[in-house]
Amino acid sequence: MANGFDGYLCSESPGGAIFQPDGKVVVAGNFGCGGPTRLYQGIYLTRFNPHSSIDETFGSGGGGTSATLTVSVTGSGTVYSTPSGINCGNDCTHNYANSTMLILKALPATGYVFSGWGGACLGVTVDYCTLTMDANKSVMAVFKSQTPEKEPPRPRHLAVPGGGCTGPTGRSAVVIAHGWLC
C-alpha cells in the first residue's frame, strides 16, 4: 500500500499520473483508501496543485456551459465514468459542465477482452482514458471475444477420379491430392 500526499491517498494499484499544462497533476488508479478523492466502481481520480495540496475545485467545471460526451461500445462490455454520468454497454450520452475532467473505464464482459479506444481516446493503450470536457466529444470502446475463431471443417473423404479412396468402411488407399491425405 502506498501513501500519497499528507496520507490522503492510498492505493493497492495506482494507474498513472497526467501532468497538465497549468502545473496540476491528475492521479488515477484502482480504489485504495480514503481521502478527498472522487470514487466510482473501484477507481479514483484526484487532482493535486503544483505545491502538492489537493485541488478542491476538481470536477467543478466552470463557465456555466456544458459539453456532451457520446460513448459507443463495440463488442460486449461496459464503459463508466468518474465523475459519474456514463455507465453503459450500448450508446450513451451525458452532458458535463465545461472543463470537467473525467476518466472513462472500460470493463469487458465475461469472455471478452478490452481491445482499444477510438474517437477522443484514440491512441490510449490502457483500459482507462482521461478527458477534459472542453468541447463535445465522442469515444468508442472496442471489446473482442476471447473465443478463437474456428477453423472451417476439412472434408473427411476425398473423391479421386478413377477411384483410389473409398472411405473408412471400404477399400482404402493412400492418395495425396491438393494437399489432402485420404
Q: If you write DSSP's letter for every residue of 31-90 in order, what string do you get?
A: --B-SS-EEETTEEEEEE-TTS-B-TTTT---TT-EEEEEEEEESSEEEEEESSS-EESS
C-alpha cell at 46: 484526484
* pTM for this predicted structure: 0.50
CATH fold of 66-145 = Ubiquitin-like (UB roll) (3.10.20)
User: From CA 157, how far away is CA 172, in angstroms rounded?
Assistant: 10
Count CA within 13 A, CB hemisphere, residue 123.
3
CB-based contact 89:40 (threshold 8 Å): no
User: From CA 56, how far away is CA 94, in angstroms rounded?
Assistant: 23
Each residue's pLDDT expressed in tens, for the chain with a length of 182 residues: 344 433 444 444 555 666 665 666 666 554 443 444 433 334 455 656 566 555 544 444 344 578 999 999 999 999 999 999 999 876 699 999 989 999 999 999 999 999 999 999 999 999 999 999 999 999 999 999 997 767 777 666 555 555 555 555 555 555 555 555 55
Q: What are the extents of the domains in the chain?
A: 2-48, 66-145, 154-182
Q: What angle do CA 176, 178, 182 make, to 5 degrees?
A: 35
User: From CA 2, how far away is CA 4, in angstroms rounded?
Assistant: 6
H helix and E strand count, the chain: 0, 16
